[in-house]
Amino acid sequence: MALTPSRLLSITVCLVLSAYAFVCYTTVQLVIFPSMGPELTTPLVLHLSAFSAIALLGIVSYAAAVMIDPGSVPPGWMPDAEENNDMAVQEVKSDGGARFCSKCQAYKPPRCHHCRICKACVLRMDHHCVWIANCVGQHNYHPFFLFVLYFLVGCAYALYLLINQLLQDIDSLEDTASEAQERDRRRLPHQSFEISWDSLYRIFTAILVLPLAIGLGVLFCWHVYLVLHNKTTIEYHEGVRARWLAKKKGQLYKHPYDLGIVRNLITIFGPNATSWFWPTLQSPGGDGLSFRTYLHLSTETDRSVGLDEEVRLETRTDDDDFISLGHKPVIH
């Protein structure tokens, strides 16, 4: 698996790591330790262990998504004519020929697209992510998904601890004000608005974490949807046009790579469910050059009900080629 550690030095990556490190430091030093007291108690150990584990998994997943090459077409790769003839679903140009990238001067496998930023064709390209200074593709989609998951959990956990500590700070201020009022009413205004620097840091961190958690939550939900349907972001937008073209012809469109929830999870994350939540350097989802389609699973059923007509659906891709998904109509 090709690694590019130099991407860790890009401005956006350094910005993300710095912001996350600040959130982790503030949460541990100014929330977990102060709220649990000076002694090593069981709640302190549990919170510290859980938050540290989540933060570590997030950092490792993020670094893997940044450094791992998303996947490129092997030099000299050619589409297998015999295999293409046997496939129920093919990705071809509008003239029926194999997809060819005029910029890379090479053939493109199914689900492969050219990234104008990376200046390369990326296997099973999802999108180019500025926050990892890299494309999200076949080989780094798994760590990218885990990075979003663990950063979301880490931010939500930090926000919970921050809000809980800030509520304790408010209670402490109210108690201080009540005591001061009894001692000397003239000191009450000064005591009631006395806020420590630690509290200000907590407030600033909470303001920083809240939009991050919301943004990560939306992104995570979006990719959960994509994973459950075995789609990429590009394929989702292609599917909108394909569905429209199918509707014009009185047919129903189905995403060709949607194998069902369980098979989709295995296809993307691998057959070993215990490894789904651990970032690895090896792509668990195949080589990115060929993919199973739902028609591989339902060919016999389709033939038994006489679904022999193929439908050509054309949708515009990242360069000026077209992608045609030859598939049989779906009856629900």
Query: Any idea which residues carry the catalytic annotation?
Result: 129
Q: Rounded to the nearest 5 degrees, what angle is found at the Cα of 123, between the Cα atoms of 122 and 127?
A: 60
Secondary structure class of 195 (helix, strand, coil): coil
Q: Which of 119-132 are b and which e, b meaning 16 or more Cβ less than 10 Å from the residue's Cβ?
A: ebbbbbbbebbebb
Q: Which DSSP letter does residue 278 get?
A: S
Spatial separation of the C-alpha atoms in residues 134 and 66, rounded to whole Å: 6
Structure tokens at 201: 């840091």
Neighbour order of strands in the sheet with 314-316: 91-92, 322-325, 314-316
Give residue for tokens 């630690």.
198
Instruction: Evaluate whether 226 touches 155 at the Cβ level (below 8 Å).
Output: no
Instruction: Evaluate whether 283 touches 71 at the Cβ level (below 8 Å).
Output: yes
